[in-house]
């Protein structure tokens, strides 16, 4: 299986690993295909992502895509972060093997859920 250099970098030295205590939003998703799960916690300031962390119980691609998703999302407006797709993430990593593309759903879906969770909490 051929992983790009960027995938290997994010897999071996992932960025923004962990969990934010008292987050403004939290998203957890599971991949029914493989059973892997991913959690993203965010802090929001001025409608932008001020801090973001992830925890992934998953494969190398899931870890790499989670890491790069947090790097891409940091500082983005919530609207722009909601527009991020798994293809954006895969492109940023210089591609993923085709049968690993589904792994990149986890990170983007968890990010979107965390933002939705923040928006729901704000309404209360």
| Residues with catalytic roles | 34, 103
Nearest to 89 by CA among 76, 77, 72: 72
Contact assessment for residue 6 and residue 83, using Cβ atoms and an 8 Å cutoff? no
79-108 binders of ligand FES (CB under 6 A):
103, 106
Around 83, how many Cα atoms within 13 Å sit in the side-chain half-sphere? 5
Work out whether 58 is an interface residue with ligand FES (CB under 6 A).
Answer: yes
How would you classify residue 18: left for phi > 0, otherwise alpha for psi between -120 and 50, otherwise beta? left
Candidates 20-28, 53-61, 78-86, 89-97: pick the segment binding ligand FES (CB under 6 A). 53-61
Work out whether 62 is an interface residue with ligand FES (CB under 6 A).
Answer: yes
Q: Which is nearer to ligand FES, 75 or 95 (CB)?
A: 95
Residues in the chain: 124
Work out whether 36 is an interface residue with ligand FES (CB under 6 A).
Answer: yes
Number of residues in contact with ligand FES under rule CB under 6 A: 9
DSSP β-bridge partners for residue 108: none
Residues within the interface to ligand FES (CB under 6 A): 31, 34, 36, 58-59, 61-62, 103, 106
């Amino acid at each position: 299986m051929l992983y790009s250099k960027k995938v290997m970098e994010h897999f071996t030295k992932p960025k923004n690993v962990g969990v934010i205590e008292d987050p403004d939003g939290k998203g957890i998703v599971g991949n029914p295909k493989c059973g892997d799960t991913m959690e993203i916690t965010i802090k929001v300031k001025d409608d932008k992502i001020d801090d973001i962390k992830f925890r992934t119980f998953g494969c190398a691609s899931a870890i790499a895509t989670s890491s790069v998703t947090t790097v891409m999302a940091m500082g983005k407006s919530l609207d722009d972060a909601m527009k991020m797709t798994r293809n954006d993430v895969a492109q940023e990593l210089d591609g993923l093997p085709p049968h690993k593309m589904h792994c990149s759903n986890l990170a983007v879906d968890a990010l979107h859920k965390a933002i939705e969770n923040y928006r729901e909490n704000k309404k209360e």
